[in-house]
Amino acid sequence: MSSVAEERSIRAPWALTAPALMLFVGVLLIPLAMTVMLSFHDWGQYKGIEPVFILKNWQEIATDPYYAEMFWRTFRIAILTTLLTALLGAPEAYILNRMSGRWKSFFLLVILGPLLISVVARTLGWALLFGGNNGLANKLLMSLGVIRSPIPFMFTETGMVVALAHVMMPFMVLSVWAALQRLDPQIENAAMSLGAGPVTIIRRIIMPQIMPGVLSGAIIVFSLSASAFATPAIIGGRRLKVAATLAYDEFLNTLNWPLGAAVATLLLAALVLIVVGSNAMIERRYAEVFR
Amino acid sequence: MAHLELDRVAKQFGAQTVVDDFSLAVGKGEFISFLGPSGCGKTTTLQMIAGFLDPTRGAIRLEGKDLTAIHPARRGLGIVFQSYALFPHMTAAENVAFGLEMRSVPRSERAERVRAALAMVGLAGYEQRHPRRMSGGQQQRVALARALVIKPSVLLLDEPLSNLDAKLREEMQIELRQIQRTIGTTTILVTHDQNEAMSLSDRIVVMSQGRIEQIGTPQDTYERPASAFVSQFLGKTNDFAATIDRTAMPARLVAGSWSAPAPAGLSGPVTVSIRPERIGFGDAGLGAKIVTRIFQGNHWLFQCASECGPAIVIRQNDGQAQPAEGEGVRLAWRAEDMSVRGGAAS
Ligand SMILES: Nc1ncnc2c1ncn2[C@@H]1O[C@H](COP(=O)(O)OP(=O)(O)OP(=O)(O)O)[C@@H](O)[C@H]1O
Ligand SMILES: [Mg+2]
């Protein structure tokens, strides 16, 4: 009797998760495995894809400095974007948290607003403002005599970082916001009653406690920026490529699917390593705050 | 001169007056409790003393100096919060040391004082623990040590024991009182637990809806409540509607078939208030019938239906036979045990 119940209790979770698991395997794991396999196939201009097992693509990526530069740029942009969102987003979340009721919900909406607009539309907005001589902001600044030549934005890494930071800001703010919610509402008063000034309170009491929030926000922003496609595609175009746009080009323009697959696989592997590694590090470092 | 003085302090949030006309003089080394139901403004008053809120009107003085002009960080008061508000990223010792660090106490002296403070609250050996790895009672002690280590001129406690279970709360009450006696810090405790207020304090400030109902020693407020609110809030009480019979000579105070010589200078309808443990069963007095009889170990609790409405009586379990449920009894009490309120002066 009891063994039947036991058996059922073992089977039930599997049965209940089966649909989701099948979907997961079907649309994620299998295509992923196929992409990895694809990266070991051969390709030629005239012969197309040949299902053989060679390391040609991987050797090309490893030896050609073009790819190293591409990946280095990808991660440089992602790191700078992460830093920018952390520097602006953490204070933003703190200020937001201190606002009173009505203003708080209004400004929360303002910050989350960008999430409701398509990435393409938002990025095109930046292009309209700073796109060469015709960009609205550039035109205005030049006619006012503030600048002589247009601020370079399109096809620059700076432009990409700024546009990406704009897109990613809500993730950082929400992550820090969540950490702030867990703070004891009296904690600042407690520090104040012990003689701490405002700067000390932020540095010694608030910062250490919201650091896990900043870091988990940073992980989200970093991985999303490193694999972002739409923003780099619009700002950088074909001239300033990052890993994601490079893979896209190999697939759809050169039609060298195996090489594109190798680039995509490498990007994925690198991201997984970085994210899992830093997550483990953060959890160890901030064990006390997370509990 | 009073050590800490609140002079007609009031606080308004918008149009809502939360504390009004609050005047209190606290002596040095005194242990005062603010007692009152939830939302009566206890925390608000405490936060005004601490400086986290500014009073709308009135003055707060410490040693004769205007406290409201001093920034909360420089008032030098020790505060224990209801949620403890410990710094979770610091160890117990770092938590306690924080206030000393802010005062630039040299490192060696700091370590010694932190050790002594933790030892005083019974936490020697817990220096390197983080708050989240401590029990509620231990966290409460860390919070107390953190507030006391800076040698505050006044210690403010906002319901520090309300998160603890009954047994631990009792232990901490005794410990709190001992520590306070030993170091002699002027202390204000906020609580809505009347037993806590009575067992700990030198004087109790009973509050209701932002106003002071009564200030007095625990015994005073219990035995001679100044208002119906106080008598209801501090323990159980019986309120009987009574009249003054001026036709009798001398005038008599009459409640149902119970009567006593009327106090001088009162007339009209009044309320007689009497504690349940002061009522006895006698041959004459207020007619009543026992509705339920509950045995509570060291005493019996009787719920009666009397001529003047429901009444409760508490009798010591002294081995005497007690009336049974449904039995008719007469309730009697001594005139000095009751308090009479209302009525017009005549
Ligand atoms: N910042 C505020 N704005 C508006 N009203 C407030 C504010 N803080 C407190 N109040 C109101 O003031 C009244 C008293 O609050 P207070 O916190 O002093 O009560 P309390 O006696 O400490 O109650 P409790 O025992 O529940 O802690 C309450 O009615 C509360 O709603
Ligand atoms: Mg309160």
Structure ipTM: 0.81
Other C-beta atoms within 10 Å of B39: how many? Answer: 12
Within a domain: A162: yes
pLDDT band at A220 (very low <50, low <70, confident <90, very high): very high
Mean pLDDT of the region A131-147: 82
CATH number of A212's domain: 1.10.3720.10
Asked if residues B198 and B2 have their Cβ atoms less than 8 Å apart, the reply is no
Which two tokens mark A142? 């030049």
Give the pLDDT confidence score for residue A288 in this predicted structure: 66
Pairwise CA distance, residues B227 & B207, whole Å? 11
Residue B169: what are its φ and ψ, rounded to 5°? -60, -45
Position B151: which residue type? K
Asked if residues B255 and B291 have their Cβ atoms less than 8 Å apart, the reply is no
Three-state SS letters, B152-182:
CCEEEEECCCCCCCHHHHHHHHHHHHHHHHH
* Angle of the B107-120 helix axis to the B136-148 helix axis, nearest 10: 130
- Chains A, B: CB contacts under 8 A, how many? 70
B83–chain A nearest CA distance, Å: 8
B45–chain A nearest CA distance, Å: 15
Looking at 3.40.50.150, 3.60.15.10, 3.40.50.170, 3.40.50.300, the CATH number of the domain B4-233 comes to 3.40.50.300
Burial of B330 (0-12, 13-18, 19+ CB in 10 A): middle
Residue A130: what are its φ and ψ, rounded to 5°? -120, 10
> Three-class SS of residue A41?
coil
Three-state SS letters, A99-141:
CCHHHHHHHHHHHHHHHHCCHHHHHHHHHHHHCHHHCHHHHHH
The CA-atom distances, in angstroms, between B133 and each of B142, B172, B280 are 12, 19, 53
Domain that holds residue A141: 68-290
Which residues of B fall within a CB distance of 8 Å from A291? 130, 132-133
Asked if residues B172 and B140 have their Cβ atoms less than 8 Å apart, the reply is yes
Contact A184 B52 (CB under 8 A): no
Does residue B192 have its Cβ closer than 6 Å to ligand 1?
Answer: yes
Within a domain: A110: yes
Contact B81 A186 (CB under 8 A): yes
Give the pLDDT confidence score for residue A3 in this predicted structure: 62
Other C-beta atoms within 10 Å of A65: how many? Answer: 8
Pairwise CA distance, residues B303 & B315, whole Å? 11
Q: Half-sphere exposure (CA, 13 Å, Cβ side) for A81?
A: 34
Identify whether B250 is preceded by a cis peptide bond (ω within 30 of 0): yes
* DSSP assigned state of A240: S
Within a domain: A61: no
Q: Please check whether residue A180 touches B, CB under 8 A.
A: no
Other C-beta atoms within 10 Å of B254: how many? Answer: 16
CA triple A57-A62-A65, angle to 5 deg: 115
> Three-class SS of residue A223?
helix
> Three-class SS of residue B321?
coil
Share the mean pLDDT of chain A: 89
Give the pLDDT confidence score for residue A283 in this predicted structure: 85
Pairwise CA distance, residues B83 & B141, whole Å? 12
Residues 6+ apart with CB under 8 A from A13: none
Position A205: which residue type? I
> Three-class SS of residue A35?
helix
Burial of A156 (0-12, 13-18, 19+ CB in 10 A): middle
Pairwise CA distance, residues B14 & A31, whole Å? 62
pLDDT band at A291 (very low <50, low <70, confident <90, very high): low
Number of domains observed in the structure of chain A: 1
Question: Among A180, A184, A193, which would you mutate to test the B interface (most chain B Cβ atoms within 10 Å of its Cβ)?
Answer: A193
Residue pointed to by tokens 């002690």: B141
Residue pointed to by tokens 């600042």: A188
Give the pLDDT confidence score for residue A2 in this predicted structure: 55
Within a domain: A174: yes
Instruction: Report CA(B238)–ligand 2 centroid distance (Å).
Output: 29
Within a domain: A171: yes
* Per-domain boundaries in chain B: 4-233, 238-345
Other C-beta atoms within 10 Å of B108: how many? Answer: 8
Pairwise CA distance, residues A38 & A45, whole Å? 16
Pairwise CA distance, residues A52 & A56, whole Å? 11
Against a cut of 0.90, is the pTM above it?
A: no
Mean pLDDT of the region A152-169: 90
Residue B192: what are its φ and ψ, rounded to 5°? -115, 15
Does residue B37 have its Cβ closer than 6 Å to ligand 1?
Answer: no
Closest residue in B to A212 (Cα) is: B89
The per-residue pLDDT for range B293-313, each reduced to its tens digit, is: 999 888 999 999 998 889 999
For B277-280, which contacts have Cβ atoms below 8 Å and span 24 or more sequence positions?
A: B277/B314, B277/B315, B277/B316, B278/B333, B278/B334, B278/B337, B278/B338, B279/B238, B279/B311, B279/B313, B279/B314, B279/B331, B279/B332, B279/B333, B280/B315, B280/B331, B280/B332, B280/B333
Which two tokens mark B278? 């002061």
Within a domain: A46: no
Within a domain: A153: yes
Within a domain: A4: no
Identify any residues that bridge with B292 across adjacent strands, giving them in sequence order: B303
Of A107-116, A195-204, B18-27, give the lowest mean pLDDT range: A107-116
Q: Is residue A1 predicted with pLDDT exceeding 90? A: no
Q: Please check whether residue A194 touches B, CB under 8 A.
A: yes
Instruction: Report CA(B35)–ligand 1 centroid distance (Å).
Output: 14
Instruction: Report CA(B120)–ligand 1 centroid distance (Å).
Output: 33
| Distance in Å from the first CA to the final CA of chain B | 39
Pairwise CA distance, residues B291 & B324, whole Å? 9
The per-residue pLDDT for range A37-59, each reduced to its tens digit, is: 999 999 888 888 888 888 999 99
Contact B52 A194 (CB under 8 A): no
What's B238-345's CATH class? Answer: mainly beta
- Which segments in chain B show pLDDT lower than 50? none
Asked if residues B314 and B238 have their Cβ atoms less than 8 Å apart, the reply is no
Identify any residues that bridge with B314 across adjacent strands, giving them in sequence order: B301
Give the pLDDT confidence score for residue B345 in this predicted structure: 57
Ligand 1, atom 17, residue with closest C-alpha: B43
Pairwise CA distance, residues A5 & B137, whole Å? 42
The per-residue pLDDT for range A174-197, each reduced to its tens digit, is: 999 999 999 999 999 999 999 999
